[in-house]
Structure 1
Amino acid sequence: MQVSLSEAQQAIAAAISEAERIGTRMCIAILDSGANLKAFVRMEDAHLGCIDVATKKAKSACLFGMPSGEIGKLSQPSGPLFGIEHSNAGLITFPGGLPIVNRDGELIGAIGVSGSTVDNDLRVATVGAMAIGSTEVPEHPWRS
């Protein structure tokens, strides 16, 4: 199952609304479940460097079925995923990327947000994801 264009646009609209509410300018990327770009927006005056960061946050969340910030915790020098950010043509392992899961518990895509603090990025990503589903991926054996 894939995130539809309509759902991607809903997620982006919700994320933009939250970014405006908190006074930030963001880049927002929605990927399908194959980690392919479905929809993207760069709000006025959002940093150019955030285009790549937002997309890679979403890619990280999508490919590993967990928030990008959780991958970051596992990728610290003493962690089991140390160095993972160098895989898959580059990942981002700090907060702001979330998987998007439909009502049936299927991963349908991911959202990545960049442009402010990681706390604000995560907040905006959460609002966007929750507009069309949830961020809770069903348990996977290697996640325990």
Structure 2
Amino acid sequence: MSTTTATTPLTTQDAETLITAARRAAEAAGVTVLDAGGHLLAFRRDDRAVLISGETSTRKAYTALQLDAPTADLVDLVKPDGPFHTLPTALDKPLLFIAGGTPVHRDGRLIGSVGVGGGTPEQDHGFATAAVQELS
């Protein structure tokens, strides 16, 4: 007999924790939090962030959620000689393979994702990772 335990979904309180942690790390950024279904839970764009950071943070979060992997780990897979080089244009909603998107897990299950845009890819990855660690 197997037992199934319910995993608490990503809540708006969790989303605020992620947003606050990412914004604390990255002062001028866009930060997006998606739930497990890819629906927007929270979004913030600092007044000083470049306008495109809102779009990039959302697409990074979506990509991390769909592939259940940090976008930093996926960059080489979509290069012209990579096994998934056509994936960025294969879906109706575009994926973005730039570091800064990170999946969020609870009890070993994917419950959402966070995306950060506005800094260098390495900075955005660090900010997103710091936010997820704050939630754990």
Q: TM-score, normalising length from structure 2?
A: 0.89
Q: Note the alpha carbon deviations across 1:48-89, whole angstroms, 9 max, x for none.
A: 111111000000000010011222211111111112111332
- Asked if 1:15 is matched to 2:27, the reply is no
Question: Secondary structure of 1:92's match?
Answer: coil
Provide the C-alpha distance between the structure 1 equivalents of 2:117 and 2:70, rounded to a whole number of angstroms: 14
What corresponds to 1:43 in structure 2? 46
The residue that corresponds to 2:3 in the other structure is none
- Give percent identity, aligned residues only: 31
Any gaps of 5 or more consecutive residues in structure 2? 1-6
TM-score by length of 1: 0.85
Q: Give secondary structure in 1 for the equivalent of 2:116.
A: strand
RMSD of Structure 2 on Structure 1 (CA): 1.1
Q: 69, 72, 83: which is aligned to 1:69?
A: 72
The aligned residue for residue 33 of structure 1 is 36
Which consecutive segments of 4 or more residues in structure 1 shift more than 4 A? none
76, 94, 97: which is aligned to 1:93?
Answer: 97
- CA apart distance, 1:116: 1.0
Note if 1:79 corresponds to 2:82. Answer: yes
Letter in 1 for 2:14: E
Distance, in Å, in 2 between the alignment partners of 1:97 and 1:38 is: 15
Residue 5 (structure 1) aligns with = 12
CA apart distance, 1:34: 1.1
Tell me by how many angstroms 1:29 deviates: 0.2
Number of matched residues? Answer: 128
Query: Is residue 2:132 matched to residue 1:129?
Result: yes
Q: Which amino acid aligns with 1:99?
A: P
CA distance in 1, matches of 2:117, 2:99: 9
Task: Tell me which amino acid in the other structure corresponds to 2:59.
Answer: K
